[in-house]
């Protein structure tokens, strides 16, 4: 059963929360088994970290990335036990979620993807220690204005500052050197930002400060055998489908130092026929962004046992 106008989308960092996946793992044995498989692969209890925390450890990039990856795919597996033939027409994921989307689409195995996200988290954490940076969320400015803010901040400080995440109209994240981010916040407020808030991170994701991580991650990617996705997976960098294994490797390498074009991704999915966006993972961050990007779409968040069962009921009733 291919849902011809449905996109499955997967969240990135910021969606983690202690307790995530616990009810799903208890209600669906296949989800619990996926957590156990992840525990064996990683050599730690990622399930315990997801279900019980502590929050400080869960929020560590090295742990956050595999925790979100496993939780999203455990929810997907639970859904697939209820609707074995269900397939979306499109996939996409925000930042880390792009790797989850690729695993969900069959472009790589669960185990290979888990090892990749663990290594990705380690390399980003290492790059953050070597080149400490910062990020800030800006509300109420469009991308053109933010790009000019970044240019001025770089000119003033001589340090890197870039537009890292174009999340939805009026919600943008900048990333770069600490001093440049601080100046960028001041300039953003002067430019009319409704809010400009530094995020509680020391890693400048999706900026040139991640170049060392990007270079090393390419080596890890070269060890993985990628396949053709079962349906188009839209890339963060180009907002267009990834069509070959080489394109997937290039995307995942360069994504670490490039802008996440989420607004363009959702707009292109809508243009290509997506009308329903099903967010698979904890919380409902992407669903909120997606509704602000397009008023034409229906957003569904599968983040609990209850949400899964309600969605299954809706699908079986209406198909």
Residues classed as catalytic: 95, 206
Structure tokens belonging to residue 243: 């069509």
Task: Tell how far CA 73 is from the center of its chain.
Answer: 13
3-state secondary structure of 184: helix
**Alpha-carbon distances, residue 264 vs 38, 130, 175 (angstroms):** 33, 32, 19
Angle at 53 between CA 52 and CA 57, to 5 degrees: 165
Task: Tell how far CA 194 is from the center of its chain.
Answer: 25
Please report where in the chains the tokens 């997606």 appear, as a residue. Answer: 290
What residues form DSSP beta bridges with 91? Answer: 8, 233
Q: Are 98 and 15 in contact (CB under 8 A)?
A: no
Element (H, E) at 196: strand 195-198
Q: Are 187 and 148 in contact (CB under 8 A)?
A: no
Query: How many whole angstroms separate alpha carbon 314 and alpha carbon 262?
Result: 27
């Amino acid at each position: 059963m291919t849902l011809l106008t449905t996109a499955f989308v997967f969240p990135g960092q910021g969606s983690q929360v202690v307790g995530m996946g616990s009810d799903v793992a208890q209600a669906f044995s296949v989800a619990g088994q996926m957590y156990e498989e992840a525990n064996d692969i990683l050599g730690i209890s990622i399930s315990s970290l997801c279900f019980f925390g502590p929050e400080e450890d869960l929020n560590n990039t090295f742990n956050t990335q595999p925790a979100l990856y496993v939780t999203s795919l455990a929810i997907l597996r639970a859904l697939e036990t209820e609707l074995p033939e269900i397939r979306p027409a499109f996939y996409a994921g925000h930042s880390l979620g792009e790797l989850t989307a690729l695993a969900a689409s069959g472009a790589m195995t669960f185990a290979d993807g888990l090892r990749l996200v663990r290594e990705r988290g380690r390399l980003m954490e290492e790059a953050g220690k070597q080149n400490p940076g910062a990020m800030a969320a800006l509300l109420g400015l469009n991308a053109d204005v933010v790009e000019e803010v970044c240019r001025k901040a770089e000119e003033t400080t001589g340090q890197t500052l870039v537009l890292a995440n174009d999340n939805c109209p009026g919600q943008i994240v900048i990333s770069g050197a600490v001093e440049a981010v601080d100046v960028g916040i001041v300039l953003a407020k002067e430019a009319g930002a409704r809010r400009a808030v530094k995020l509680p991170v020391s890693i400048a994701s999706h900026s040139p400060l991640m170049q060392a991580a990007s270079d090393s991650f390419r080596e890890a990617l070269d060890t993985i055998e990628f396949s053709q996705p079962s349906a188009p997976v839209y890339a963060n960098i180009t907002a267009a489908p990834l069509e070959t294994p080489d394109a997937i490797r290039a995307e995942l390498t360069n994504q670490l130092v490039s802008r996440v074009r989420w607004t363009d991704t959702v707009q292109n999915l809508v243009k290509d026929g997506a009308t329903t966006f099903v967010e698979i993972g904890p919380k409902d961050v992407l669903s909120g962004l997606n509704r602000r990007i397009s008023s034409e779409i229906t957003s569904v968040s599968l983040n609990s046992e209850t949400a899964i069962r309600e969605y299954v009921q809706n699908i079986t009733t209406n198909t």
